[in-house]
Structure 1
Amino acid sequence: MIDQQASSSPRGDAVPPSTDGLVLDRVAIRLAGRQLLALDHRVAPGDTLTVMGPSGSGKSTLFAFVAGFLDPAFEAVGRVCLNGRDLTLLPPRCRRVGLLFQDALLLPHMSVGDNLLFALPANVKGSRQRRAAAEAMLSDVGLAGHFSRDPATLSGGQAARVALARTLLAKPEALLLDEPFARLDQDLRATIRDLVFQTIRARKIPAVLVTHDPADAQAAGSALVEIGSGEGTTV
């Protein structure tokens, strides 16, 4: 469960409205009385915090807490704040947090373009304007002309680009990257990795990356946290 302290910090301090980026404010997560991790860190706009650790160390659990999907079996304290907004008790749909996974998770019964339109906010009105927004995003990720393609005909790299485009179209204020490069071959991995981190920097989106690959952490180019000691790690 989420401890009610999560709605305010232990000192009762409010995160200033002008605080940009993603703030993990004294977050601690426990399972069955055992502390998995403890983080106190601000991810500035355009930066990526890399979290590394063995399976079962709490990496996915941290993502679930930030995104609002934490299983009630876990106990969590602390706050998650994004650009001055306290997200901790908000439902997932209100958090403006995007996720990228190992698999592209494209909807197979939809075209590439329809996959993107599915993520486009409802405030973009009119079929022509919505299609233009999706086409422009495809062009941004190097897939101009792919709107009508069947996802089944895409290569692994193309599918990864579509997944990124779909996530960005939802206009997230932060990104959670759950080993998004793990299923790509080495050459393609470097290309997609560069695209993702260049996009994060250009759009000034704070991001958190979970990975087992030190090369991913090096490419992210920002702070690195290693967890898995059983006592948690604070940075």
Structure 2
Amino acid sequence: MSDGLELRQIVLSRGDEVLLRLDTRIAPGEVLTVMGPSGSGKSTLLSFLTGTLAPDFSASGRVLLDGDDVTEVPPEARRIGILFQDDLLFPHLSVGQNLAFGLAPGGSRAERRARIDDALGEIGLAGFADRDPATLSGGQKARVALMRMLLSEPRALLLDEAFSGLDADLRAQMRELVFARAQDRGLPVLMVTHEQEDAEAARGPVVRIGDA
């Protein structure tokens, strides 16, 4: 049984300035929303959780994922997925090749192609494997980026203003898709956002930092 993502007595600082304190647990399938103004430490928190904290910041506390302490684990071994505002698809690769980047090594070429085709069908893009990402709409690119991340089989998901580049209708659709996929897979989700609508749609606890 998954234990979710536990942030145990986290304190993030820059020099002598404490940016945030956080002590919480995110259950499998739950979305914790962190809101705060620019400079309040939201992105710094995500960097700490992924193991990429910049050297001018310091942190204390522990990060536990399904009961495993990953605080000192290298970023690539943590299995924490992250989605950004930008889709970050590789422009020189096809849609299918972008998705293949998320797959673990191994399996025959046919097996890997079958997994990619299944994944595309799951996000309503069946038959798009050979398409150039440049031919996709913003919403389609966002769905491919989501599925590439899910194919890497993360144990937790971070959302860094992931919906802010989309128009209102598309934003609502992508929120629903991301939250549903996370719930289906039992992934704890930490979402950083400026938008109250995002927090309401997540239907989970909200932590406000800084002057938010």
Normalising by the smaller structure, the TM-score range is over 0.9
Q: Structure 1 regions of 5+ residues with no counterpart?
A: 1-17
Aligned to 1:191: 173
Identity %: 54
Matched letter for residue 87 of structure 2: A
Any residues of structure 2 matched to 1:16-31 within 5 Å, and which?
Answer: 20-31=3-14
- The reply to whether residue 61 of structure 1 matches residue 40 of structure 2 is no
- The reply to whether residue 134 of structure 1 matches residue 116 of structure 2 is yes
Q: Structure 2 regions of 5+ residues with no counterpart?
A: none
> How many angstroms does 1:32 deviate by?
1.4
Aligned to 1:43: 26
Question: How far apart, in 2, do the equivalents of 1:75 and 1:189 lie?
Answer: 34
Q: Which of 130, 133, 141 in structure 2 is aligned with 1:148?
A: 130
Q: How many residues align?
A: 212
SS in 2 for 1:161: helix
- The reply to whether residue 203 of structure 1 matches residue 185 of structure 2 is yes
Matched letter for residue 155 of structure 1: S
- The reply to whether residue 116 of structure 1 matches residue 99 of structure 2 is yes
Aligned to 2:154: 172
Question: How far apart, in 2, do the equivalents of 1:200 and 1:119 lie?
Answer: 16
- The reply to whether residue 221 of structure 1 matches residue 207 of structure 2 is no
Matched letter for residue 151 of structure 1: P
- The reply to whether residue 107 of structure 1 matches residue 95 of structure 2 is no
> How many angstroms does 1:19 deviate by?
6.5
Aligned to 2:15: 32
SS in 2 for 1:63: helix
Matched letter for residue 143 of structure 2: R
Aligned to 2:67: 84
Worse-superposed segment, 109-118 or 125-134: 125-134
- The reply to whether residue 70 of structure 1 matches residue 53 of structure 2 is yes
CA contact (8 A) 2:31 2:189 kept: yes
Worse-superposed segment, 124-133 or 37-46: 124-133
Aligned to 2:35: 52
Q: Could you tell me the TM-score, scaled by structure 1's length?
A: 0.88
RMSD, aligned α-carbons: 1.2
Q: Could you tell me the TM-score, scaled by structure 2's length?
A: 0.98
Deviations 1:174-226 (A, max 9, x none): 00000111000111111111111111111110010000000000111111000
CA contact (8 A) 2:133 2:141 kept: yes
Question: How far apart, in 2, do the equivalents of 1:86 and 1:214 lie?
Answer: 32
> How many angstroms does 1:138 deviate by?
1.1
CA contact (8 A) 2:2 2:28 kept: no
Matched letter for residue 166 of structure 1: R
> How many angstroms does 1:125 deviate by?
1.1
